[in-house]
Structure 1
Amino acid sequence: MSSQLAAFCAVTSFLWLINSVEDHQIIEQPRLSSTLILLIASLTSYAISHFSDWLPGANGRFDDELGLSSAGNKTKPISQRNFPKKPRRYFVLILIGCIILRLESFHRVTADLQCSKPGLEAFLPLLILGYQLYSSPRRPRTFDEERDDFTRTMFEAISEFLTRSLYILVPSTFLISFGVYLALISEPKSTLFCSPRHDWATFVVFVQWVGVVLDAAIVIIAWRILAWARTTKSRLRTLAGILLVSGLGAGILWGLSGDGIGSDTLFWFDVVVDGLTLATLLVSSSLLAPEGGGVLSFVGVITFIAGFLLSVQRVWTLGSWENVSGWGTWGAVVGMSAGFALFVYATDVKKVMFIHRAFVVIALVGVVIAVSIFTPIKMSKGMDRHPLSKLIYDSRVESDRWLIHASYSDSLPAAVREYRERHYGRDPPKGFDKWWEFAKQKKSPIMDHFKQMGDDVLPFWGVSPTRLREDTRKAAKELDMALLQIQNGTARHNLPAENPYKTIMDELVELTKDFAEHLPDLEMAINLNERPRVLASWDQVQRLAAAGIKRKKTSSLLPGGSSADNEYGKKDMPEPRLAETVEKEEVLKNTMSPKALRELTALSCPTGTKVRSGVHWDIRDFCSSCAKPQSNGQFLTNLGLSLELCHQSDLMRLHSFYMTPADIPPTTDLLPIFSRSKTDNYADILLPLSRLPATTINPPKSPQPFSKNHQKLFYRASISRPYSGKDLLRGGHQERLVHLTNLPSSSRSQTRLILPDQSKSRAHYREVSTTTLNTLLPFDTAFTSYSPCTPEDSSCPPHDFTHLTKPSTDDAPFSNQYLLTLDSATSSSPLFLPALSSSSNLPFLSTIFKEWYTDRVLPWVHFVPVDVRFHALHSTLAYFVGIKDQTKEHGSTDGRWIAEQGAKWAGRALRREDRQVYLFRLLLEWGRLVDDGRDEAGFKISS
């Protein structure tokens, strides 16, 4: 029982490590993390050695107890037959060297994980088996043993054959390893790609194999050393010493590498937890060393359990896009089950963590039968109709309900009641009646739904008006900021004539002219930079938002001629001084690195979320759990949820925004800054702000009909930015798109999409060559120019985008039916609104940014959403344009309908007048927030 408890602890700690480490912060600083984890595990092991008498398991092995001197004793128990040879004195040094080299190989592979091959670790048991066969030559049978053969029963002979025969041990170990390998390679892959140097992938795979060989060497040598310790205390202290010296060796390499020291509290928490868990794994394993079951049985059991749990999990995804290889999954389960059933007898494992091997074998037989029945049923089920067809229909129905919710009010009193219900019982701001009249006059289709605006301003209810006014002036002095002032019904800004952003502020002032007379006096700090600016912590934002909810309007103020009304909104504000010239070069010296930006972003997420827990480092494999909440199969269904980062830790390494330095570091204080766009984690307040004329895209005045345009998915972008690391060149969203649709890497050699069966009565997810699909589907994706490095940067890694550059005219995008609109590395695409406004084009939108209009355009009704991971891009385009042997009429009709609906809606809800309606209401909200009498300054209908 004691040894089974140790085995249980070893297996559970191992499973916890391999399933949690990919979301931990330690991968950001691998060498430092390795050093600290080894040192913590060493100290823990040493501390546990003081309580060795309380630990389960044998208390050491002695030569006379083992009877090793009586060679050839046929009565030697099975546990002693597998006991390792006595280690040499220099084995400890070899072990320490192997540990340090293994850590370095791990760092090398994880640095280019997308170039690695999945599943190679599954062959570790085979390597250990090869060592065991080599180091344990078969002993000639004695006369007494041959004579005993005639006295054994049939069952004894079978048992003897299973436990001694290499004909059982070799195939059983192979079946376990190969089954685990099949389970691992069936995981869907991400769209990251490897280096364009063809030999680099080979080198990474070679380092992987070196790592597996080192794993085998470490396990074997450590087992020999620990098994020969005389007592449990000496064994644990030997283990502690090995870990200590290994940690110091890893620390020397960390010091030579020049890596920094982690400053994030969560990093240190992860290091401590992983160190303690590693200590649990190693201490538990060391307690099993003198049991004599052999290192192969221990490694085989752990490999089987880890692989079997994964394969059973894969069974539940059969038939979905995540698992199109049904028989591969069936083969993994059957192979592992058959192999392990023989393995426990071949290695004489009596119990598998408290469960007798006979019951384990019976359970495995039941699993094999169940999977053999379930697999063909699940794989033949298929789909009666394409899921996008149903999704588009459901979205049409939902859009009608949304429009009713967005414009529920039909009168001013109804609008006031609706406002109170949606704003925690608070009355609308003073001047709400003027806004209502203005919105009605402009024929706004949205009268009640301003959720984004409400969410943006809510935290600032927890900040005093005086502080808001001071912070506004403070923020306006920063680089690429402007001050908008409204006083006595007149709007003005502080940008001089030579400022390149003056045209943007002039247009903003122009938008206010039709309603400025109804606005209170106020000032606003406007962010003119492409990147958002306010990255406050989640705790700070939630604390202030909670305070804002509590501050409900308590006054019985009525609109009319009260003294409070006459004083409301009037402030003594000096005319804004012209914005001072800021030395941009000096500011840019404080550029924030992508790593530091990711750490700040993590703090903007709630505790317990994936991003807060750590950065997802397994960039080779697709993170199904990250995409599943907002998806139906492959396809994106919930755009709002897809814009929330905190449950999608993989996006930190899949979007250029999180992989490029921030020229102007974001502020972590909740400053009142208004911006054009932001990601969900930023606390900027969104407003309808135009772009620089040079970046503005205007559709042609006389567009062609949708059916006359080229049936292509078109994308162009010009990339010119300082080099931000090889991660960006391989994982940036723009780079991944162009590479995927032109030069798919070996890791993405197959793409999963929906195809009909031969009778065309049902459809199934199938794997098709990505290269073949790229020729069958009308992709036209390229860069107009690509310069990821500064000219003087001689260390710029090679890239394969030079020959993927094509020229593009201003009208080129609009001559195609389908336009793919992607974010830049800093903001949302300027092409989306022009594409949406034209019935000749259907925009495919892939974004992580929000703008003022984001919650009033509906996916699958006004545009086609595309996940930033691009795992469904081929399937989505195939639905609309069709591919060989697949009809496209229905998809083409849906595409034309969505393009027309998007253009109609843009002509109703995204006009200049709609920007004015949004801005008017936003300025009323902000004018109340910065007024000292804001708690009493609400609008009520006179009784």
Structure 2
Amino acid sequence: MFSAGAALLFSALVQYLTTPNVELPSEVVCWATLPAVILLVRRYGSVSRATTSKTLLGTASRASGAVPSTKAWLFALGVGAACWYRAEERIIVLWPALTPLLLLAGVGPVTTSIKTGLRVFPPPLTARWSSGLIAAFSCVILVGSSGISLPSLAVCVAVVALLYGGYLAISSPASAVDGDAEHAGGQQGRGDAPESSQVEDMALSLGLRILPILAIAMGVRFLVSHELQVALFRVVMVASVKALSWFFTLKATRDSSWCVSSTIGTFAITSTYSSALGDRSSYAYAASHLVASLLSLGQTIDMVPKESKPRTRLWALGVLPLMAFIVNMGGIGALRTLFPPEKHPIEVLARAAEADFDAMLGRQSFNYMAAVLEYQRRYNLEPPSGFEAWYDFAVAHASPIIDEFDMIHQAIAPFLKMSGQEVREAMAQAIGAKDGKLCHCEFKGETGETRCNNPQIQGTLLRWLGGVTGKIPDVEFLVNPLDEPRVMLPEAESTGEERERVRVTNLSRKPVWDVLTRGCAPESGSLTLKKQGARGGINTHGLPFVTDTNADKDLCRHPEYRDMHGIAMSPTTFLLVDGAVPVLSSGTLTTMADVLFPSPAYAEDGFVYDEGRDMEWDLKANNLYWAGSTTGGWAANDDEWKKYHRHRFVALAQDLEPGKTYWYLRKQDGVFHRAASSLLGRDLFDVGFTTILQCRDDICDSEKQYFDVLPRADKDAALASKLVFDLDGNGISGRFVKLLSSRSAVLKQTLFREWHDERLAAWVHYIPVSQDLGEVPELVSWLTGTEEGRARAKTVAERGREWAARAMRDEDRAVYIYRLMLELARIQDPERPAM
């Protein structure tokens, strides 16, 4: 009874103490020292035997024959696989399945009384049917609370199979010294327990096999992850606890069977995992972990021989999962107080977004092999040539993002269906097209030199990729130097000849909505409201807070955008490239096929953040700032320009529409409700046009009369306000990264997709604003006028600034472009067939 209790206690302690980086090293130390621990316990402990006087060498000599070599290697392989998996995934979620599997194989409690020879029925919890139900329950709750992926679950099945084979081999009669001998009181079956010295002396025999397997696993892990940093003290501490755990587990198997090892392991996992790593958002998971741990404890007690009295004292160990349950329930309660039903929608959106973003960061591949597997999983495709060098480059430049490059794949996927030669022919057609105005560039991998027929683009690319040499194949690419995106893929019903032809059409200063949405399904617009409510059903009380930035930008889901954005109504420049040709643009629309790359504007002096011009948060004005020009559309009609995105925003901020109703949220009896008001709070907005342009002369005069035009502003004037606004011009806004890097909180309205969309989190790094702008009065009022709102604004400013310094550097743009160049090189390889 004492051995089983100690095994339960130390196994649970191992789960508390171990971490992935010490799992393998501590197991090596454990098995290297376990025979010495056994000898010391025999010599000085209360469990001393006739072997006390023997030396360790003598013990080793006797133990060397304790387990047949083949079976010892099977057991060692199972232990090694389990350690490796725990180092990768923390726990083996299917471990409880070992119990019914071993019972089905006959590896269970002794079922024949040695004294009477009468058959004894197994206790209820260790019957085969009940153990199967308990195992299924435990596996389900462990899988559910761990959030394990399907590939990892498949690997877990293989690990459990190896463990099962190892335990099955070690528990056979031949596993003991003189395994064919019979006890005087009766014949041993597969589930019978060998003598004490026989079980304990297995440690050295097994350790001699386990150690080389663990050494190989450590070596592979080092080669894959490129690092192996561990704290020696922690390794020794965890190894010591593991050695004691194994020692008492071996002793417990003497009195019962190897099946008790699986129930002890299940108790250790379920009694600790709920508070250490479990899903704190669910009371049901917390309670189910407690139930699973108590059931496995009961199974362990049932496997202890009745002669070990009073074995019921083992139930005292139920305090371990009970304490974990209490801690976990407290954590859930604390978390739920952060998400009360009637928190302001902005606060709820922000906290949900923070959890999503942190989870995304936690999923990034931690070594090269993981990055390859993730690439294969996402795209069902092998990474391009040079991928390992790119990975090393990303790691060397401390890129926090390794896997989030879906936009690159989405952009190049259509060209994988073409052969490399066809892609080259399409590029040649685009270069030769009349009025194409595409910049042609060549990158030389051997020298890292970029040559473009546009000096600005060439200088920018040299700045970002100049240090990458000998790692990227020579590649040609086309760059769009205009603000607006360019490329539309051929329509699905196009003939083969039409699909192969690339043509350029000048649609400047014309409505282009029908062209932009020609590929949308007729019913797609009806999905708008459904998608906007996708984030956990958050109640926005009728205000158009952005709950899903991807859906918010989707032209197919928003037919109302036809009359809300300048690029749809009358783009200043729109030279449409109609055809399947890869063209790099700094921004694109959801229905277009431009390949995204970082805008050269980020490197321009006016768009580079100067910390010396910024100020501390508390010194900034408590208002929203924006100043700029009337770019975004060509104004030639009095009936249209007021609908352009910039014009609508400035008109709202300057309260220029008489009788306009603004909507706010008011809380009454703890419940938010929407309230109408004719008051804007004009003092909260420092907004205006400083330049009127891109308009016919008479229309320009009309705009000057309508708006309160401001004097030209300093380029860093925005940094004096706590809230700064950023929105589209003709294309993407070049000042966004500068504002994001500052100590101000950025409110961002955009219809364009950019290269950094996957690495930025709305409501975490910036505050998204809808095209409708209907939520802006409440948004600004709450962020400036409430204690909770001001705290959220400051948090967004701080997190945006910190993340910009980590993930929006020149080095991060180089990492992105480097990976993009690899993909471009693959699609234009003249030897590549269509895929």
For normalisation by structure 1, the TM-score amounts to: 0.48
Structure 1 residues 728 and 505, CA, compared in 2 at 3 Å: closer, same or farther?
Answer: farther
| The one of 785, 789, 805 aligned to 2:695 | 789
Question: 1:211-226 counterparts in 2 under 5 A?
Answer: none
| Alignment of 1:510 onto 2:463 | yes
| The one of 902, 907, 910 aligned to 2:808 | 910
Structure 1 residues 718 and 662, CA, compared in 2 at 3 Å: closer, same or farther?
Answer: closer
Which string of whole-angstrom CA distances, capped at 9 and with x for unpartnered residues, describes residues 58-103 of structure 1? xxxxxxxxxxxxxxxxxxxxxxxxxxxxxxxxxxxxxxxxxxxxxx
Letter aligned with residue 818 of structure 2: F
Structure 1 residues 540 and 837, CA, compared in 2 at 3 Å: closer, same or farther?
Answer: farther
Structure 1 residues 877 and 540, CA, compared in 2 at 3 Å: closer, same or farther?
Answer: farther
Which string of whole-angstrom CA distances, capped at 9 and with x for unpartnered residues, describes residues 185-206 of structure 1? xxxxxxxxxxxxxxxxxxxxxx
C-alpha separation between the residues in 1 aligned to 2:662 and 2:680? Answer: 8
Question: 1:263-278 counterparts in 2 under 5 A?
Answer: none
What secondary structure sits across from 2:482 in the alignment?
A: coil
C-alpha separation between the residues in 1 aligned to 2:599 and 2:395? Answer: 22
Structure 1 residues 593 and 608, CA, compared in 2 at 3 Å: closer, same or farther?
Answer: farther
Letter aligned with residue 778 of structure 2: S
Structure 1 residues 628 and 650, CA, compared in 2 at 3 Å: closer, same or farther?
Answer: farther
| Alignment of 1:869 onto 2:778 | no
Letter aligned with residue 706 of structure 1: W
The offset of 1:448, in angstroms, is 1.2
What secondary structure sits across from 1:666 in the alignment?
A: strand
Query: Does the 8 Å contact 1:659/1:724 carry over to 2?
Result: no
In the other structure, the counterpart of 1:455 is 410
Which string of whole-angstrom CA distances, capped at 9 and with x for unpartnered residues, describes residues 640-699 of structure 1? 111111010111110111122453421221211111111111101011231287684233
| The one of 610, 616, 628 aligned to 2:525 | 610
In the other structure, the counterpart of 1:356 is none
| Alignment of 1:391 onto 2:391 | no
Query: Does the 8 Å contact 1:753/1:874 carry over to 2?
Result: yes
Letter aligned with residue 928 of structure 1: R
In the other structure, the counterpart of 2:598 is 688
In the other structure, the counterpart of 1:830 is 734
| The one of 413, 419, 426 aligned to 2:375 | 419
In the other structure, the counterpart of 1:753 is 664
In the other structure, the counterpart of 1:657 is 567
| Alignment of 1:483 onto 2:436 | no
The offset of 1:609, in angstroms, is 2.4
| The one of 717, 722, 741 aligned to 2:653 | 741
The offset of 1:540, in angstroms, is 7.1
Letter aligned with residue 428 of structure 2: R
Matched positions, count: 483
Letter aligned with residue 458 of structure 1: A
C-alpha separation between the residues in 2 aligned to 1:844 and 1:540? Answer: 41
Structure 1 residues 648 and 785, CA, compared in 2 at 3 Å: closer, same or farther?
Answer: same
The offset of 1:423, in angstroms, is 0.8
What secondary structure sits across from 2:600 in the alignment?
A: coil
| Alignment of 1:815 onto 2:773 | no
The offset of 1:419, in angstroms, is 0.9
C-alpha separation between the residues in 2 aligned to 1:802 and 1:936? Answer: 55
| The one of 588, 591, 601 aligned to 2:516 | 601
| Alignment of 1:699 onto 2:615 | no
The offset of 1:489, in angstroms, is 1.8
In the other structure, the counterpart of 1:237 is none
What secondary structure sits across from 1:505 in the alignment?
A: helix
In the other structure, the counterpart of 1:534 is 487
The offset of 1:750, in angstroms, is 1.6
Query: Does the 8 Å contact 1:714/1:780 carry over to 2?
Result: yes
In the other structure, the counterpart of 2:706 is 801
Which string of whole-angstrom CA distances, capped at 9 and with x for unpartnered residues, describes residues 15-62 of structure 1? xxxxxxxxxxxxxxxxxxxxxxxxxxxxxxxxxxxxxxxxxxxxxxxx
Which string of whole-angstrom CA distances, capped at 9 and with x for unpartnered residues, describes residues 423-471 of structure 1? 12x1111111111111110011111111111111111111121121122
Structure 1 residues 835 and 762, CA, compared in 2 at 3 Å: closer, same or farther?
Answer: same
Which string of whole-angstrom CA distances, capped at 9 and with x for unpartnered residues, describes residues 619-644 of structure 1? xxxx9789666885221111111111
Query: Does the 8 Å contact 2:597/2:755 carry over to 1?
Result: yes
In the other structure, the counterpart of 1:672 is 582
| Alignment of 1:732 onto 2:732 | no
Structure 1 residues 784 and 627, CA, compared in 2 at 3 Å: closer, same or farther?
Answer: farther
C-alpha separation between the residues in 1 aligned to 2:571 and 2:765? Answer: 34
RMSD over aligned CA atoms reads: 3.2
C-alpha separation between the residues in 2 aligned to 1:878 and 1:442? Answer: 41
C-alpha separation between the residues in 1 aligned to 2:708 and 2:745? Answer: 28
The offset of 1:796, in angstroms, is 7.3
| The one of 425, 429, 447 aligned to 1:470 | 425
Query: Does the 8 Å contact 2:519/2:591 carry over to 1?
Result: yes
In the other structure, the counterpart of 2:359 is 401
Query: Does the 8 Å contact 1:541/1:670 carry over to 2?
Result: no
Structure 1 residues 626 and 660, CA, compared in 2 at 3 Å: closer, same or farther?
Answer: farther
Structure 1 residues 796 and 903, CA, compared in 2 at 3 Å: closer, same or farther?
Answer: closer
Structure 1 residues 662 and 787, CA, compared in 2 at 3 Å: closer, same or farther?
Answer: closer
Letter aligned with residue 837 of structure 1: S
Letter aligned with residue 865 of structure 1: P
Letter aligned with residue 705 of structure 1: E
Structure 1 residues 728 and 829, CA, compared in 2 at 3 Å: closer, same or farther?
Answer: farther
The offset of 1:536, in angstroms, is 2.3
C-alpha separation between the residues in 2 aligned to 1:853 and 1:412? Answer: 22
Letter aligned with residue 344 of structure 2: H
| The one of 381, 385, 388 aligned to 1:430 | 385
Unaligned runs of 5+ residues in structure 2 are: 1-339, 498-503
Query: Does the 8 Å contact 1:713/1:816 carry over to 2?
Result: yes
C-alpha separation between the residues in 1 aligned to 2:374 and 2:551? Answer: 25
The offset of 1:591, in angstroms, is 4.2
What secondary structure sits across from 1:753 in the alignment?
A: strand
What secondary structure sits across from 1:820 in the alignment?
A: strand
Query: Does the 8 Å contact 1:819/1:844 carry over to 2?
Result: yes
Query: Does the 8 Å contact 1:538/1:605 carry over to 2?
Result: no
Question: 1:59-74 counterparts in 2 under 5 A?
Answer: none
C-alpha separation between the residues in 1 aligned to 2:567 and 2:447? Answer: 37
In the other structure, the counterpart of 1:890 is 788
Greater RCO, 1 or 2 (C-alpha within 8 Å, sep 6+): 1
Structure 1 residues 516 and 864, CA, compared in 2 at 3 Å: closer, same or farther?
Answer: same
Greater shift after overlay, 476-485 or 665-674? 476-485
C-alpha separation between the residues in 1 aligned to 2:530 and 2:564? Answer: 15
What secondary structure sits across from 2:607 in the alignment?
A: coil
Unaligned runs of 5+ residues in structure 1 are: 1-381, 545-586, 613-622, 883-887, 938-943
What secondary structure sits across from 1:459 in the alignment?
A: helix
C-alpha separation between the residues in 1 aligned to 2:808 and 2:409? Answer: 19
The offset of 1:521, in angstroms, is 2.0
Aligned-pair identity in percent equals: 24
Structure 1 residues 936 and 437, CA, compared in 2 at 3 Å: closer, same or farther?
Answer: farther
What secondary structure sits across from 2:557 in the alignment?
A: coil
Query: Does the 8 Å contact 1:591/1:663 carry over to 2?
Result: yes
The offset of 1:516, in angstroms, is 3.2
| The one of 802, 824, 827 aligned to 1:926 | 824
What secondary structure sits across from 2:578 in the alignment?
A: coil
Greater shift after overlay, 694-703 or 432-441? 694-703
Query: Does the 8 Å contact 1:534/1:668 carry over to 2?
Result: yes
C-alpha separation between the residues in 2 aligned to 1:780 and 1:672? Answer: 41
